[in-house]
Structure 1
Amino acid sequence: MCSSFRLLKKAIWVLVTLENSSATVIISGFVTYPGKVTFDRPTTVYQAIMQSGGVSDYGSLSNIHLTRIINGVQRTETINLRPNIRGQPTLPKYVQDGDVIYISRSLF
């Protein structure tokens, strides 16, 4: 019993916490199934749109707006997914909880 006690006394405890990776995102505009979608793992904007059925026949792959709150300020950036569709290497853009993805209408 004494040797067990000494072993436990010398143990080092390590606490690992995992960041909550779930994200609820609103996908709207010219997408097949618009609405609120929740993801339980890291998901790219491209994957999120595909989860919603993809861009509709009238939607634009090159004019997608990602809106998110950063430090209390709403910011919007335009994303072009055409390179992804063509198989060109691109840096992934991951969705975050509270993001809004809007697919604009195609001009053609």
Structure 2
Amino acid sequence: MALDPVLRTREHVGLCAALAAAGATEEGMRHEMDSSYLCTLSGVSEAKLPALLAELDADGYVTLFREYSSGQGDRTVWVSLTTQGADAYDRHLQAVRAIAEGQG
């Protein structure tokens, strides 16, 4: 079991962890999380979030949906963990556990 190279920083892991813990995944009935709430749960700053999500999106680990409201150009970005992202996150956690237990 190897660490996932896409989940190379605490921020990448934290985003996947927050989405998985909240059930914001494609599994079963699809659920999404507001990007502002994702910042709160993961501890990632709003300034860093767009770049991190773009990386995870490019690797197929998350999907993004932008919702624009009428008025002042406000938008909400909804995020969900893809099946591929959830599987990669689970494998990454298993690799971390194996290392911690001296099996890595």
TM-score if structure 2 supplies the norm length? 0.32
TM-score if structure 1 supplies the norm length? 0.31
Larger Rg: 1
**Relative contact order, CA 8 A, sep 6+: which one is greater?**
2
Question: Which has the larger helix fraction?
Answer: 2
